[in-house]
A and B are shown apart, each in its own frame.
Chain A
């Protein structure tokens, strides 16, 4: 080497000037790669702790169920009795009915009284005293079955068996009818009899069901021949470098297993045929990626764990004995609480997926093995919305997913 004082004023200045504004073309995929990597790193920073996610899901479920309970809470013991029309039949139990009707009247302190006569206009000016008189008269002449049903509801205590059976028949008849409050009731041989009927809502029925669910369309696989982005570096020794190494390799083959779910739901019957339900569900989605570069291959496995909150509505369609069918639809949001990814057997730091929204529709068949317990099979379809994340999984590859749900349902309050 020659010791020399080098001047900066030489041809290298021209070299610098020559390349000062020089630009090289850039591939179209580079921006996409930058966006993806940025999203991955941004996703890591925004991740909520698992306990917060579970707490959020539980809070939503509790609010939904609690709100439904408050809204659909059964009425108090005091019932309203509406007199629609008087009949003229008599019955041996009329005195008992009169006394019980009088007791019923004493409980009607705040309930409005409506009274109509078949003739119309005069009934609108009836005072409360006159309405009470009408009620006593109707109790005297009401058909025994109807009176029993009314009395039992007013008293809140069971009547003797025969009377209860008759009242039960009335209740069953009432349940068969639609939502209108007025109904007529045939009396034996004495023409139509207006119903002295309690206007009340049906008792709230709850159900709890535990189920398992799996996709029914088999696994999803795909292969691609995109350009290899692997750097030609050497000496990778740390897990982080390994992760970077694996992330940069093109995934040539992808294999997504169908997701498996376990759920616990609580349902509230808002009408005899309609049920609203919510709860918590755990879902596991497994994927495997294999890439080959020359004679070398790399295998990456990814297990995504989700905790979700479903919200659904079910409509009973048909019932015969212990069998009944129903239609169900609803939505669900699943939070990815853990992403366990391994590359060639080593754990790597991988970002979690964004919340996954889905909607579903299904038809169910249930068999009641006991009066309050049934087992059901519910094949259906689920559609997963694109959540915009770059975590590859079955929900992105196969947005429309057919599944089968198998579970047990316990009916409370029937």
Chain B
């Protein structure tokens, strides 16, 4: 398989097939990211469509910084586009009205959960929780950066993240318990 650098050179030289190779290489990964933000597949399709159009439109100005930089850039565009999508549809709700989830002892056994289930469980979180969790855990941004990006208070970002983490942990444990019960039956 060609390297990212070779792929970029092909794209910048005007090879339109190279754009399709770029899409084929990162579309499935991008869909996984998109579904974490926008769990409904139809909406995720919309997000990916818009994301790749933006990738193609601005790839000429992309600065290559080593193998993997292109993938990281594409996935950031997907994440940003997903957040914009949620903003446009006014689906952000950073409310603390939900009952506080108690902190349970022990960490959930994430490695026992299939990735597809983890993605689904993240998708079941409320919008605000889900976005902050994604930006903090997968985007590796600080609460200050998250607050600036989402136009919320830093404390709100921290609060949303804590609630998201606890709720996700409970969902994972519930899933494992249900699976164990099913196996015993």
**Partner-B contacts on A (CB < 8 A):** 1-2, 4, 6, 10-12, 14-16, 18-19, 21-27, 30-31, 33-34, 37-38, 41, 228-235, 241, 248
Contacts and interface: CB of A to CB of B under 8 A. Distances in A.
A248 B46 contact: yes
Interface in B87-108: 88-90, 96, 100, 103, 107-108
B118 A15 contact: yes
Contacts of A4: 162
B contacts with A: majority SS: helix
Interface of B: 20, 23, 27-29, 31-32, 35-36, 40, 42-43, 45-46, 48-49, 52-53, 56, 88-90, 96, 100, 103, 107-108, 110-111, 113, 115-116, 118-119, 136-138, 140, 158-159, 161-162, 165, 168-169
B31 A19 contact: no
A2 B49 contact: no
B127 to A, nearest CB: 13
A37 B53 contact: yes
Nearest to A23: B28
Contacts of B169: 11
A22 B28 CA distance: 8
A234 B20 contact: no
A368 to B, nearest CB: 56
Contacts of A25: 28, 31
B53 A233 contact: no
A249 to B, nearest CB: 12
B42 A229 contact: yes
Given A11-B169, A19-B36, A26-B27, 18 more contacts: A1-B159, A11-B110, A15-B118, A15-B137, A19-B32, A19-B118, A23-B28, A24-B119, A30-B45, A30-B48, A34-B52, A34-B53, A229-B46, A231-B89, A233-B88, A233-B89, A234-B90, A248-B46
A31 to B, nearest CB: 6
Q: Which of A10, A11, A15, A38 has the most CB of B within 10 A?
A: A15
Top 3 nearest A-B pairs by Cβ distance? A23-B28, A11-B107, A233-B89
B172 to A, nearest CB: 9
B25 to A, nearest CB: 11
Contact of A229 (B45, B115, B138): B45
Given A18-B110, A26-B27, A12 B42 contact: no
18 contacts: A6-B158, A6-B162, A11-B110, A12-B136, A15-B110, A16-B138, A18-B115, A21-B29, A22-B29, A23-B28, A24-B32, A26-B28, A26-B48, A30-B27, A31-B23, A33-B45, A34-B23, A229-B45
B42 to A, nearest CB: 6
Contacts of B103: 2
A15 to B, nearest CB: 5
A367 B138 CA distance: 80
Contacts of A22: 29, 32, 115-116, 118-119
B40 A232 contact: yes
B88 A24 contact: no
Contacts of B90: 234-235
B42 A230 contact: yes
B118 to A, nearest CB: 6
B159 A235 contact: no
B30 to A, nearest CB: 8
A28 to B, nearest CB: 11
B89 A12 contact: no
A63 to B, nearest CB: 33
Contacts of B89: 231, 233-235
A275 to B, nearest CB: 44
Contacts of A21: 29
Contacts of A33: 45, 49
A235 B91 CA distance: 10
Contacts of A34: 23, 49, 52-53
Contacts of A14: 110-111
A33 to B, nearest CB: 5
B153 to A, nearest CB: 13
A19 B115 CA distance: 6
A231 B111 contact: no
A230 B53 CA distance: 19
Contacts of A37: 49, 53
Contact of A23 (B29, B42, B138): B29
A22 B113 CA distance: 13
A150 B88 CA distance: 87
Contacts of A41: 53
A343 B71 CA distance: 38
Contacts of A18: 110-111, 113, 115, 118
